[in-house]
Structure 1
Amino acid sequence: MLKHVLRVLALVIIVGGAIVAYIAWPDTATLPIAAVQGDRPDISAPRVQTIPTVKVADVVGWPAGTTPTAAAGLRVGAFAAGLDHPRWLYVLPNGDVLVAETNSPPRKGGGIQGWVMGLLMGKAGAGVPSANRITLLRDTNGDGVAETRSVFMSGLNSPFGMALMDGQLYIANTDALVRVPYTEGATKITAKPELVVKLNGGGNHWARNVIPAADGKTLFVSVGSASNIAEGGMEAEKYRANILQIWPDKNWRIYAAGLRNPVGMALNPTNGNLWTVVNERDMLGSDLAPDYLTQVEFGDQFGWPWYYWGGYPDDRVEPKRPELQEYSKRPDYALGPHVAALGLTFAKDAKLGDRWTQGAFVGEHGSWNRKPVSGYKVAWVPFAANGYPAKGAKPVDVLTGFLDAEGDARGRPVGVTIDRGGALLVADDVGNRIWRVTAAR
């Protein structure tokens, strides 16, 4: 009996010591984040982790009278407050703003990663049930504040992306692309949504986005992976880590693959080509792998889960795919490791001053597994006249202050878009606000 007790005690000490060691010494970045940004990032050797570094900002909310900090020449105010986890935005032709108040569906799966993710969702303020609705916000007097709001649609399933095409409003639920007829000026839609295409829903990456293609005849729908590196097998990743192209007659195809979690999508105003921001993989250390912004063309394969950043192998993935390495497309622009790039919009219709006319705004939700933390801001990527990010340019801070002096999160930016007046709107999902950025007068 005594020997058994001693064995148990020894095991407790060993496990406890390992936990203490892990908490005391998580993987820390060895490179400045700027070194892992831009068109030529420093791709260092991976530091594979069995247990991820956990460094996520606790959510404290916005104290009364406080706002994010805007870049020089800009100012920011609240367009709307008191929302329930606002994540994505869509501006209707009449200027009304739709906001998807949404969150992850109930998560399934266990193991250490499932346990860690469950803890993180609660810590990051993302563990609340989804409101499953789209709310309409209307600025009736043009003062930059939404005076009225109404429940536009309800009863949805973790809705995210929204897009108008040919008189139909398309909504990307986590498990389906659906549509309803739209009449300009409507403040509520009660029609039963029509199923267009079923999608594989849920998983680690549940948010689905949708935008019309440049020709206005098809739609692009982004579907993130179910896991980090397909650790549950590739069958669970069927039609995931993809951008799909969908026709209104309900036909569809895989447009591009190997994209771990493409969320924000936008058309480049220079040439109408599709661009996206992508969340890259975890547990290779605080310096890898960079999230990225890239152009996407039909047939592209970006390497996930076997390769990252254009052909660097992830030796954790089995079975191997050596024949895919030379075909893994290199992204155009690195945003930095673990910034959680989600929002994307080009500045085509922005009226924010000369500095912000040629490039893209990116909503960086913020890291959970990097020390020090990264993201928690809205960044600007300058573009050149050729329609690509400017050579040698690094991201520029547009909206910061989402972390307070103690490192706690007042908010976390997600969706970004340009409103009818040329201002930048930013969905803050744990601050429960929509911020509006304008040129300072």
Structure 2
Amino acid sequence: MDFVTRVATMIGGVMVKMRRGSAPKVQAMGDAPDIPEAKKQGVMTLKMPTAKGWDDGHMPQAAPGLQVNAFASGLDHPRWIEVLPNGDVLVAEALQIERPPRGLFDRAMVGTMKRANAMGQSANRISLWRDPDGDGTAEERHDFLTDLNQPFGMALVDGTFYVGNTDGIVAYPYTDGDDRISGEGRKLVDFKPGGHWTRSLIVSPDRSKIYAGVGSQTNIGDQGLAAEEGRASIWELDLATGDAREFATGLRNPVGLAWEPVDGKLWTVVNERDGLGDETPPDYLTSVQDGGFYGWPYSYWGKIVDDRVQQDADLVARAIQPDYALGGHTASLGLCWMPEGTLPGFGDGMVIGQHGSWNRSTLSGYRLIFVPFADGKPSGAPHDILSGFLSPDEQFSYGRPVGVVIGPDGHSLLMADDVGNIIWRVTGA
């Protein structure tokens, strides 16, 4: 670490200590969260644990009645998971690419992200894992697709495999049982790369459309709104016509996508903006309306104005309030619907992988949680499924939760851990 980076990091550390005493004691969570008044930080709080990984025999702590084991290990920054109909498990291995810093604070942030294993050289591949004997640990590994561009979301529809690269959606021919795709891909949709670079994908229940999450370039439109065109939104791709459009907008960084089966609505988890306080605003889980606008960058939690941004009163007036707050800066990324009966003691609800914070004085997230649902809506406080990813003194992260899916057997969860470089499997004890 060079001298300038050390100085910038020290300044960030001082900000952490100054703000810790005034930090809210209760997280802003639920359908009626207590969101503290915004406090402009100036120099933003910069705090991330050093990536450590798991020592032999050390693993996340499962909730009572559950157990956890490593389904696959030795990966290179696993981010997202897709389970194919034949039981093959695909894992997107990718990372935010290291870039030159843009100023003093950005230099500290880049250095901190590298230390936290959140930035570096991307593997740019999708690996395939098989568990032929069904014991819950994969025995086979194959390079399914390589030389991609920060792959993330994956989807399979009628013999075509779709990949969400950071710069767009690409389609490949696929035959059931393939352990490697060698055919050429077809680019279907272009997205602006970089910034919030992940591109999650989900297929509509009728298999006619694909939805993609595309995050913003910046925190609050810092490079101008022209740089944000086509971003901070969920896109819809019609597979029959090839037409693509923005389905919902004003979502700063919508990552995980899931269908709720009672009302048939699309849901997403969104990472909100930085620089206003430990719990302001909270990240959130929300249903998504066709044509809906959710506030970014002008407002948050519906119509609470962010006065750092030049305002658009008409857009703020129609900003939709999210359904459920997940706490400030939890970096909630992974999302899947988990029906009752999947894990013992858990009913219907959403499972969320919380990657963990950097912009707050006391760390948050670093958990795999469950939000119960009833009648198509969240219906109570979240419960931990896995915890123990963070050292008690907040100095080290053993792992960081990202993507989560229902396992091939229908009675387990698979979760990507991009610091531990492991796919964890959760089942009943």
| TM class, shorter-length | over 0.9
| 1:261-272 paired onto structure 2 within 5 Å | 261-272=253-264
Q: Is structure 2 residue 237 aligned with structure 1 residue 250?
A: no
Taking the aligned partners of 2:12 and 2:360, their CA distance within structure 1 comes to 18
- Per the TM alignment, residue 91 of structure 1 is displaced from its structure 2 partner at its CA by 0.2
Name the aligned partner's letter for residue 194 of structure 1: R
- Per the TM alignment, residue 54 of structure 1 is displaced from its structure 2 partner at its CA by 1.2
Specify the alignment match of 2:356 in structure 1. 366
Contact 1:107 1:202 in 2 (8 A): no
Specify the alignment match of 2:124 in structure 1. 132
- The 3 A distance-change label for structure 1 pair 17 and 199 is closer
Specify the alignment match of 1:117 in structure 2. 109
Specify the alignment match of 1:3 in structure 2. none
| 1:42-441 paired onto structure 2 within 5 Å | 42-107=34-99, 110-203=102-195, 205-248=196-239, 249-318=241-310, 320-348=311-339, 351-353=342-344, 355-384=345-374, 386-390=375-379, 393-407=380-394, 408-421=396-409, 422-440=411-429
Return the structure number with greater strand share.
Answer: 2
Taking the aligned partners of 1:202 and 1:108, their CA distance within structure 2 comes to 13
Q: Give per-residue Cα distances to partners, 1:42-77, cap 9 Å, x unaligned.
A: 122101112111121111110111110000110001
Q: Give per-residue Cα distances to partners, 1:230-286, cap 9 Å, x unaligned.
A: 011000001000101111232111100000000000111223210000000000011
Residue identity over aligned pairs, in percent, reads 47
Contact 1:359 1:381 in 2 (8 A): yes
Taking the aligned partners of 1:250 and 1:349, their CA distance within structure 2 comes to 36
Name the aligned partner's letter for residue 32 of structure 1: K
- The 3 A distance-change label for structure 1 pair 283 and 192 is same
Q: Give unmatched runs, 5+ long, in structure 2.
A: 1-7
Question: SS of the residue aligned with 2:426?
Answer: strand
Contact 1:28 1:372 in 2 (8 A): no
Contact 2:20 2:362 in 1 (8 A): no
Name the aligned partner's letter for residue 378 of structure 1: L
Question: SS of the residue aligned with 1:162?
Answer: strand
- Per the TM alignment, residue 128 of structure 1 is displaced from its structure 2 partner at its CA by 2.3
Question: SS of the residue aligned with 2:189?
Answer: strand
Taking the aligned partners of 2:235 and 2:97, their CA distance within structure 1 comes to 21
- Per the TM alignment, residue 117 of structure 1 is displaced from its structure 2 partner at its CA by 2.9
- Per the TM alignment, residue 18 of structure 1 is displaced from its structure 2 partner at its CA by 7.0
Taking the aligned partners of 1:76 and 1:281, their CA distance within structure 2 comes to 33
- The 3 A distance-change label for structure 1 pair 238 and 116 is farther
- Per the TM alignment, residue 107 of structure 1 is displaced from its structure 2 partner at its CA by 3.4
So what's the TM-score if we normalise by structure 2?
A: 0.94
- Per the TM alignment, residue 108 of structure 1 is displaced from its structure 2 partner at its CA by 5.9
- The 3 A distance-change label for structure 1 pair 23 and 46 is closer
- The 3 A distance-change label for structure 1 pair 136 and 18 is closer
Taking the aligned partners of 2:104 and 2:74, their CA distance within structure 1 comes to 35
Contact 1:172 1:178 in 2 (8 A): yes
Question: SS of the residue aligned with 1:25?
Answer: helix
Aligned residues: 420
Contact 2:97 2:119 in 1 (8 A): no
- Per the TM alignment, residue 351 of structure 1 is displaced from its structure 2 partner at its CA by 2.2
So what's the TM-score if we normalise by structure 1?
A: 0.92
Contact 1:350 1:418 in 2 (8 A): no
- Per the TM alignment, residue 113 of structure 1 is displaced from its structure 2 partner at its CA by 4.7
Decide which structure has the larger Cα Rg and report it: 1
Residue in structure 2 matching 1:31, options 15, 19, 24 = 24
Name whichever of 332-341 and 402-411 sits farther off: 402-411
Taking the aligned partners of 2:249 and 2:161, their CA distance within structure 1 comes to 26
Taking the aligned partners of 1:84 and 1:112, their CA distance within structure 2 comes to 30
Contact 1:70 1:398 in 2 (8 A): yes
Name the aligned partner's letter for residue 360 of structure 1: M
- Per the TM alignment, residue 374 of structure 1 is displaced from its structure 2 partner at its CA by 0.1
Contact 1:29 1:372 in 2 (8 A): no
Name the aligned partner's letter for residue 418 of structure 2: D
Taking the aligned partners of 1:120 and 1:89, their CA distance within structure 2 comes to 26
Question: SS of the residue aligned with 1:130?
Answer: coil
Name the aligned partner's letter for residue 392 of structure 2: A
Q: Give unmatched runs, 5+ long, in structure 1.
A: 1-14
